[in-house]
Amino acid sequence: MRKRFNVTGSCNPEWHYMVDNAKRFKAVEDLIDMGEYFTINRARQYGKTTMLQMIWRRLSDRYLIIDCSFEGVDDNAFSSHTAFAKMFARQMANRLEPRCIEEGLVNIWQDCTAKDLDELSETITRFTKMSPKPVVLTIDEVDKSSDNQLFLNFLGMLRNKYLQRSVEGLNSTFHSVILAGVYDVKNLKLKLRPDAEKKYNSPWNIATDFNVDMTFHPEEIAQMLGDYENDRHTGMDIKAISEEIYKYTSGYPYLVSAICKIIDERLEADWNLDNVQQAVKIIAKGENVTLIDDLSKNIENNAELRDFLFSIVVNGQEYSYSMVDPMVRLANMFSYIKENQRGKAMIHNLIFEEVLFVYFGNKTMRELGERISPYVPNYVQNGRLNMEHVLTRFRDLLHEEYRDSTQAFVEKEGRLLFLTFLKPIINGTGFYYVEPQTRDNRRMDLIVTYGQEEFVVELKIWRGDKYEQKGRDQLSEYLATRGMDEGYLVTFDFSKNKEDREPEWIEWNGKRIFESVI
């Protein structure tokens, strides 16, 4: 069977192209060897199940690995202690058979008649003492049951047994317990009953922190592409492609593999920078992409999270990357944000940023209707984007339609209006993203690519003549870092006595800048 890139389920190195997980696995192995209990809590499709499968494949010679999952477990299993004990015993027996028939270990669970957690605890002790190897329990998809008080009681029972190991011996319970899910059960916010106030519970406060970096770095992506190239001989520039993939994904495992899979299977294995961007567009559309669907659902269902992400994406608001803030912690748990070099929260990757811009932009389009329609000839001439015409038309449109009636709206969301206006013009051929190091509530550098050309558009809020000159300085300096001679400066002026100025080209610090004040 020919190897392929995998984006569904766990990955197997014999079947799939994978990054080398040796360092990540070694960190997990060390935790297991020390007898730690922990949760692999990462966002959706971040490699959790693949790591559990690696544990089973690589450590089964030293440990008795029992890999359970609560996905698909009937709700009736959580209706009573007896039902839960029966479900857990059945899972244990199914995972042990036929491996442990000769030791008779499976019989302990097949014959289990535990009616409550105390009796289930006694069965666990009898089982682990009888096992010739230390027993490691892994439970995948714990999120499916994490809002159930009975499940929390079960974790509390495992916690108590862990604490008693110093008295009853290390083999009196599971040597290590590993939970896998999006939520960190140790700090889980729950609503246990319909009439209950949301609160924090710590049934897992004996668990050690899981600080293993699960993201894929450029050199790891290059290694995976190198394995592919050894088989396929496409002639790709591995270093350039891996860095481009990382630029758009920030190493989010699913997104990395999805780009590779799309290029390999849908773009005729033509590995070039344009096709990396084309794959990004396909993913960002969200068609049959569970990860993007989850992002949409989460912000639809949580207005506070939606407003938080809007303030970062559109308004350039900066928040300290501190888990003391519940919104920062929630967005971080879903991997919607990460920490930038200045200790502030930023959107995790350019694909998520594109999806969020489209989400908020479409909402704006529905509210404004055809008044912001960009469909006028000459934006693209002979296959080249005429950015000067784009900015001039955008200025004229706002002056015609929104100067008075929606000034407050434009002041708050001028950037979003421009991106909403730009999106259909470049859609299908171009792409845009925000330079993360220049994003704040006063300045945003937008990088627009169209065909083989790249445009830098700085979006600013008017703060007076002094800041206007500073904006020109910042743009000319940024153009110099990119080796470019021309750039575009859009300034949103919401002062009462603003001067009506026509867009114009100016010379500034050796650079040509097209300046448009709106």
Closest CA to 424 of 393, 452, 453, 402: 393
The pTM of the full predicted model, rounded to 2 decimals, is 0.89
The owner of tokens 């006595």 is 497
Buried residues in 279-303 as b, exposed as e (16+ CB within 10 A): bbbbbbebeebebbebbeebbeeee
Whole-angstrom distance, CA of residue 405 vs CA of residue 70: 55
Own/partner contacts of 399-408, CB < 8 Å, gap of 24 or more, are: 399/518, 401/371, 401/372, 407/494
Residue type at position 245: I
Closest CA to 447 of 359, 350, 308: 350
Assigned token pair, 183: 């939520």
Render each residue's pLDDT in the chain as its tens digit; 518 residues: 789 999 998 899 999 999 999 999 999 999 999 999 999 999 999 999 999 999 999 999 999 999 998 887 888 888 899 999 999 999 999 998 766 666 788 999 999 999 999 999 999 999 999 999 999 999 998 887 766 788 889 999 999 999 999 999 999 999 999 999 887 776 554 444 444 444 445 678 888 999 999 999 999 999 999 999 999 999 999 999 999 999 999 999 999 999 999 999 999 999 999 999 999 999 999 888 999 999 999 999 999 999 999 999 988 888 999 999 999 999 999 999 999 998 999 999 999 999 999 899 887 777 665 566 556 668 998 889 999 999 999 998 887 766 555 455 555 577 888 888 898 888 878 889 888 766 666 678 899 999 889 999 999 887 777 777 888 999 999 999 999 999 999 988 877 676 778 899 999 999 999 999 88
DSSP notation for 223-266: HHHHHHHHHH-----HHHHHHHHHHHHTT-HHHHHHHHHHHHHT
Whole-angstrom distance, CA of residue 189 vs CA of residue 192: 10
Give all strands (DSSP E) within 146-233, no chain letters.
176-181, 188-190, 199-201
Whole-angstrom distance, CA of residue 477 vs CA of residue 124: 66
Whole-angstrom distance, CA of residue 51 vs CA of residue 40: 9
Whole-angstrom distance, CA of residue 118 vs CA of residue 66: 21
Neighbours of 312 (CB within 10 A): 21
